[in-house]
Structure 1
Amino acid sequence: MPRRVAAVRPVRPTIRYSRHVAEALRAETVGGIVMLLATVAALVWANTPWSSAYTRLRSYEISPGWLGLGHMDLQHWASGGLLAVFFFIAGLELREELTHGELRDPRDAALPVIAAAAGVVMPAVLFVAVSAGEPGALSGWAVPTATDIAFALAVLAVTFSSCPAPLRAFLLTLAVVDDLIAILIIALFYTDTLRWGPLLAGAALIAVYGALQSRGVRTPWAYVPLAVLAWYFVQRSGIHATVAGVALGMLTSPREPLDGRPTNAEQADHALRPLSAGVCVPVFAFLSAGVALGGPALGAVFGDRVALGVIVGLVVGKFVGVFGGAWTAVRLGLATLGEELHWREIAGVALLAGVGFTVSLLIGGLAYTDPAQFERVTTAVLLASVIASAAATVVFRRRVRQRARQEETVG
């Protein structure tokens, strides 16, 4: 293991950014617990004699013809509608990172950005290597590339509550960059039919939203109709509507008013984060995670190279990519490891990055339209997330004991 490299200069985040990180961690931790409960409820229901009722519920179609959105069942409304709110929050976080956080300085941003990029490439490579030759397998290459920020932060909070603030900030930044890459992947590789008319209308509405933000307009009544219409036209264009969510979030202004009132970004975050963490993501999890876990179902997963590719990509690929990317960046002098960080803690975060629940399931639904294949992929994502969480827990608990011994020695 290479010796820890100290930062050339201490990184002292602004008070505003420290407060933002603390608030985001508290909200996402609670959201992770709620999402976990929703997932367990879906799994229990799907493995009872009443599982057919669960299947009927998530496939219940609500698609008025006048909307022009095609056939939309509850599961599609959750992935295309509710997750747009989740990605709007991701867009807010990315703008916050660029304005006040670790991404505001390229030298500070290098470590999490390089780690996130490598943590996308390596899982995709391993997935392709494991699943090569299976019919239609390559369409799911992006499934194991995403990290679920809510679950990851919840595990970190429970297993390593005394972790240094820079480690939390590293994980938060890593996950935000990961979400941005995931959105770009969805826009570029999972758009089958592009309709230019609705796309241009959606882009125009997003541009108007951004112009009003730049002019300092504060009333939400100007923004809610624009956001809803932008979502609608982007959804009709054939591009997944979560792309609109990220774009709108990034355009929401973090500029502080002269009168000291909260910024537009803070107002939006305050209003929508509880909705995202407490309703949107848990409902999506509930409607997506209900898979059979009996012996035959698990046997089908371990006999399917696509599902195995997902597990290997998330558990092995994420660790190798994130940790290897961070280590390589430091060794080559492209980034520095702060004084409060340790390679063992980075290893724990790299394992935790294999918790790929929300976005992995979203991409899995886009990649595989066959219900049986999607169910095996969903089961693989769940298994990989449990394995990654357990492995990270072991690393973090050992680190807690090491820190306790070091404090006793110093004392």
Structure 2
Amino acid sequence: MNSPHRKRTCLLAVALLTGLGLTATALPAQAAAPAPGTSTGTSTIALPADPGPDTKALAEALQGLPDANATAALVRVGGTGRDWHGSAGVRDLHTQAPAREEARFRAGSTTKVVTAALVLQLAAEGRVDLDAPVQRYLPDLLTPAFDPISVRQLLTFTSGLRPGASLGPEDAEGYENRFRTLTPEEVVAESVRQGPDAAPGERQRYGNIEYTVLGMLIEKVSGDAYEHQALVRIFRPAGMRHTSFPDGPDPRIHGPHHRGYQLLADGRLVDATEWNMSDRWAVGNMISTTGDLERFLYALFRGRLVPKPQLKEMFTVPEVRTGEASMSAGLQRYPLPDKRVVWLKTGSRPGYSTGIAATEDLTRTLVYSVNSTDAKGEQVNPVVGRLQAAAFSR
């Protein structure tokens, strides 16, 4: 049952315009120009170097923390120009200790990008056929009521599966249930019990259920735990030394971290740092740092984690028969008004809002963690919106 005070945000193209905090006039349009050193006629035009991010706008975006919207924020912006990183706010409202740049946090649905990368690695090894039905790999998961659903349709949120079981909205009964355990099997069983929501490939509907199933597929094909596969295939190769998954239902964040605070529907602001997120698993249970997520972004986009032929799946939005699509395999496409295209993934857990974003050529990258007091709210947190707009303002 959905809380009357909050709605889960579906990250589709229309919502993303609001999500980036941008309007058609927020970024200056730029005339198309040849690449540096490009020959035009008989002369060569030497273009000025990339000026890098607008550091003044980024610093201003962090001013005033903590406030009613966020208690702390960490951000890293990079690319071909100057890199920039900053922090603001406090890591604990009671002690008022300042924010730490190396703090760990719940990375939410940016976990889905790791899950997608694992599936694409298995595809590159010939162990998974993206066009094959998931029923081939998990024959007992779905009932005969379901048409064949391809692995690619799971990756691109076009499976037609209904949402699975949950412990309730995070700003209401979910908070009261925060130490309970809901297994991935229970999550999927509830989705299957309800039957299909749409035919596979009919429309794109962002949610968690597809990536819970993909976590099961990874375990079945690899014969190994999802968490260990993420460690040996993604975290270690990318140099993500401070990224991990909780040990089963462990509700704690180990190592240096910020406290996360959640505004409940009844108006209370509560400490939501300790929370059993095991039901989110391959969907959103990762704990990381901004430095590690930046390393992941660079390793992924450069083809060090997923071979280039399979990496194309992350930069390809599927065609659907009804409506529009903006999600690829784990990422979301967003065209900026100045003709650049950003590929991104956001994530939210109570008290924590996370985002990774980059142009495909890595000329601009953004990683942030904001301790939002309403991370699961319908509206984009103002601090997040300011950071996103400043990072891609030039």
Work out whether the TM-score is over 0.5.
Answer: no
TM-score by length of 1: 0.27
Where is the helix percentage greater, Structure 1 or Structure 2? 1
TM-score by length of 2: 0.28
Where is the strand percentage greater, Structure 1 or Structure 2? 2
